[in-house]
Amino acid sequence: MEILSNVFVLLHFIGFAALFGGAFTQLKGPNRKINAAMFHGALTQVVTGLILVGFAEMGDGDVNHMKIGIKSLVLVVILVLVLMNRKKDKVSDGVFWGVFALTLLNAGIAVFW
């Protein structure tokens, strides 16, 4: 079971890399948009995150529900922003920087909490 859990952790990291990398590559560009990497990264993060929470609940250790709830809320906001703006040729700076900052916030919560 531990190997399967580690596979989903790896997939979760790949989702983060796609979401963050898809945004990072556009930092200097004049026209920013929600690209396919950001869309698929956000979806991967949601699916693998839910699976990892399921694994954590099945295990013997304590589960930090506050951390999971906050990370889930941040990820839902990211997903909504990505889904609402993925068809647009150009997104506003607020949306782009919001997705970028929330992605970093979610990683920071995972690392430092």
pLDDT at 60: 80
At 43 the three-state DSSP class reads helix
For the chain of 113 residues, list the mean pLDDT of each consecutive stretch of 10.
94 98 94 96 97 92 93 97 96 96 97 95
Domain ranges of the chain: 2-112
Cβ contact 81:50 at 8 Å: no
Judge if pTM exceeds 0.95.
no
DSSP structure string for 49-113: HHHHHHHHHHSSS---HHHHHHHHHHHHHHHHHHHHHTT-SS--HHHHHHHHHHHHHHHHHHHH-
